[in-house]
Amino acid sequence: MIFNILINNFRENFNSKGKLIIKFNPEVVYKKSLETKQIGKKYNLTYKFIKNETKLIRKILEGHGFEQVNSSNSAFNLMWTSNSIKLLNFKFLYPFQRVNHFPKSFELTRKDRLCKNIEKIQQEKGFKHFDFIPTTFILPHQFNQFKSLFYLVLFFFSIQIFELFRYI
């Protein structure tokens, strides 16, 4: 897991744009390390949870020296939420603040929405470059199409099996 944090006035361990790159080490969950804990302490990094309690994320962040702040506190570096936040709320974030979701992220993370979006782009741009997804149905809305294809495939395979037994 890699996470960019913008911190002004520091130049060590940063990329060319002045962003601190933190590579989170999952070993902090079961093995304490003073070295990794100093990362968050050195830069006073903070996090907050909104509408969830993720013990694993908490252990990883605290293992890297992040301090938890109250969910109503606006002084944080990372906000971890169970679902996406509204676009309006993004306008109030400072450049150094990060969120684990973005507006309408469910369009990619929900299988039914991902399927619909890929179908839409296949129709707009053609199937040639978007043929990596198998035939997919969203049930119960597309049950009739699913049933038709199921019987077609069943019929096709039964003919193939019948042909195989003819030669035995």
Q: Are 46 and 69 in contact (CB under 8 A)?
A: yes
pLDDT digits (tens, 9 = 90+) for 115-124: 888 889 889 9
**Looking at the predicted structure, is the pLDDT value of residue 164 above 70?**
no
Whether 21 and 2 have beta carbons less than 8 Å apart is answered as: yes
Backbone torsions φ then ψ of 15, nearest 5 degrees: -85, -175
CA nearest 48: which of 30, 34, 67? 67
- Residue type present at position 152: L
How much is the pTM?
Answer: 0.60
Phi, psi of 92 (to 5 degrees): -95, 0
pLDDT tens by residue, 102-112 = 777 778 778 88
The helix/strand/coil state of 27 is helix
Residue 79: both structure tokens together? 């906000």
pLDDT band at 128 (very low <50, low <70, confident <90, very high): confident
> Is 64 in contact with 40 (CB distance < 8 Å)?
yes
**Tokens matching residue 103:** 């507006």
- Give the DSSP H or E segment for 145: helix 143-166
124 sits in which H/E element: helix 111-125
